[in-house]
Structure 1
Amino acid sequence: MMEPTDTLHIPKMFVVLKGWADAGGMAQAVFDRIRKKLPCRIIARLDTDVSVHGAEHRPQILVQHGVLKEFQWPALEFYRPEDPAHQDVVFAVGWEPASQWRRFLADFVSLLESWGCRHLLLLGSLYDQIFYDEIRLSGVAVDAAGYNWLRRWECQFAEYAGPAAIHSAILNEVRGKPVTAVNLWAHVPFYLKDAHELLVHRVMEIVGDFAGILWNLDDLVAEWKNREREIEEILSQDPSLREQIRALKKHGASPAPKDSKPARGEVIDLRRFQKKPKDEDNPA
């Protein structure tokens, strides 16, 4: 921890976890937008080195001029806005735990309770068979208040049976406590490599409503218009792919499982169509 937790009162928390339940890198995309719109500073770290996969998520270091400057263990990091008007919310980001969930949950809930947190919003994402400009959000709640959040945000009520994500474990852990908690799921088109700006825009609107923050999201709208033109250009070059994707808009489809990857069909990675400097043609 970086600050004495008994001196803080933070009634709202928004959590994004990178890993298995983070299709299209949605967690980082949303968190990056939050940091861009609202200057924040880290107020606490919840160590997760015993619960993340060591082969994939190793400690991070900073070496400058041959001198070790920083060594940072894997952690769930908590960011609080610098603006006093918005310090009733904290944003948490980190890799989901791969093991020892109960230990992680105990530490997480302990911190939640020490801050007097009463409102909790979790974000996950999954691949789905939807048209690229379709915004589909689903959610899970544990009480009537959370259910009403989902209704206000026009989310579908999730239907699912199978392996759990850590998000569900967190919901289960706070069930019965004086905490209104909701797990929001953003649906990412399975043929796009990254979460697109239109979806990020809608999630940011919801986070703003949750946190009481009015964002200026004009930049996301402009970026989406550029992305849409790029997608249309790519589809115009591949009639077969174009017909497959347009069929999704015409007929609709069921969501892919939460652990699904964009393994079948073609994946559109727009970065491969962007111009690169000549010195980037050969990977280092």
Structure 2
Amino acid sequence: MTSNFIHWTDQELLDDLNSPVVIAAFEGWNDAGEAASSALRYFQERFSAEKIGSIESEEFFDFTISRPVIQIPDDKREILWPATEIYATKMFDSKHDLVIVVGHEPQLRWRTFTDQIVEIASIIDSHMVITLGSLLTDIPHSRPVKVFGSSDDSALAKKLNLNPSTYEGPTGIVGVVNNVMREKGIPSLSLWAGVPSYVSGANSPKAALALVERLAEVLQIGIACTDLEIASAAYERQINELVAEDLDTAEYVNQLEEDFDKSSEVDEQSSNPELLVSEVEAFLRNQTGQT
């Protein structure tokens, strides 16, 4: 399958990738608090991932909804279009290089768009695709963010001791990508973080931090998170101040905190990240024939 919609810009780096893992996140419906896209962009920046390509935006976006933006850097007028960009980085302390796919959730031609993600994974011979997502839920901002893993591939879910996906209802592009990966036989899993529903309009660096930390654990790589840690602490302080100003909200948050503290239903991967780490690494090692 050769696409007319993927534009590769760095063939040399593309050809030099070693056993790459694809990580993808999309702004939009599966990106509450912009936590998933922020986490992946943080990865891209921290590891100085270089742009190696992009997916043509003209076919997949309604520009009356996702409008282009005019900028004038250095007195030169530019138009920035909604984009899905592809980055790559060599990970010299890891067995697996990284390919990062990040952009906006498309408005049009989702099947064709998802085919582009499949082609990216196929061209680079990726042995796993990891998608990131974040969702609004009834959790307190003052407690640790739970990150849970799932897979649409029941066989992979069993191998990695993940929860098989049981969700039924409307879905975003992340759900479609994961389903198509299963149909194409490409191993994939998702990592999801919760964002408090009562602050749905605010970006959540706390959830982004949780995703970054869990993804780093799964990939067995180190990453400095000082900037996100500072932003996360400031986020929590600001919400504390806002909650304190409204009695009803304060009571609601107190109830959420009590429910959270009493709950014994902790996702196995959330309570034991080392288990998921070791099982993902064993799976990738088996896929690449390493011992």
Range with bigger deviation, 28-37 or 9-18: 28-37
Aligned AA (1:241): T
Gaps of 5+ in 2: 1-7, 261-291
- 1:63-74 residue pairs with structure 2 within 5 A? 63=72, 67-68=76-77, 70=78, 73-74=81-82
Aligned to 1:122: 131
Kindly indicate which of the two structures has a greater share of residues assigned to helix: 2
Aligned to 1:25: 34
Cα distance in 2 between the residues matched to 1:224 and 1:11: 30
- 1:103-142 residue pairs with structure 2 within 5 A? 103-132=112-141, 133-141=143-151, 142=153
1:99 maps onto 2:100 in alignment: no
- 1:1-284 residue pairs with structure 2 within 5 A? 1-4=8-11, 7-9=15-17, 11-60=20-69, 62-63=71-72, 67-68=76-77, 70=78, 73-81=81-89, 84-85=92-93, 88-132=97-141, 133-141=143-151, 142-147=153-158, 149=160, 151=162, 158-192=165-199, 193-251=201-259
Cα distance in 2 between the residues matched to 1:176 and 1:139: 19
**Aligned pair in 2 of structure 1 residues 36, 196: CA closer, same or farther (>3 Å)?**
same
Offset of 1:250 from its aligned partner?
2.1
Cα distance in 2 between the residues matched to 1:2 and 1:169: 27
Offset of 1:14 from its aligned partner?
0.7
Cα distance in 1 between the residues matched to 2:73 and 2:45: 26
Q: Is the 8 A contact 1:131 1:245 kept in 2?
A: yes
Gaps of 5+ in 1: 253-284
Which 4+ stretches in 1 moved above 6 angstroms? none
Aligned AA (2:155): A
Cα distance in 2 between the residues matched to 1:48 and 1:210: 31
Aligned to 2:267: none
Offset of 1:94 from its aligned partner?
0.5
Range with bigger deviation, 209-218 or 19-28: 209-218
Aligned to 1:266: none
| Structure 1 SS opposite 2:198 | coil
Cα distance in 1 between the residues matched to 2:32 and 2:220: 27
Q: What do residues 181-237 of structure 1 show as CA deviations (whole Å, max 9, x unaligned)? A: 012222100112334333222211122123332112244334433433333333333
Name the TM-score, length of structure 2 as normaliser: 0.73
Offset of 1:114 from its aligned partner?
0.6
Same amino acid, percent of matched pairs = 23
Offset of 1:85 from its aligned partner?
4.5
Cα distance in 2 between the residues matched to 1:226 and 1:7: 42
Offset of 1:143 from its aligned partner?
3.9
Q: Is the 8 A contact 2:44 2:100 kept in 1?
A: no
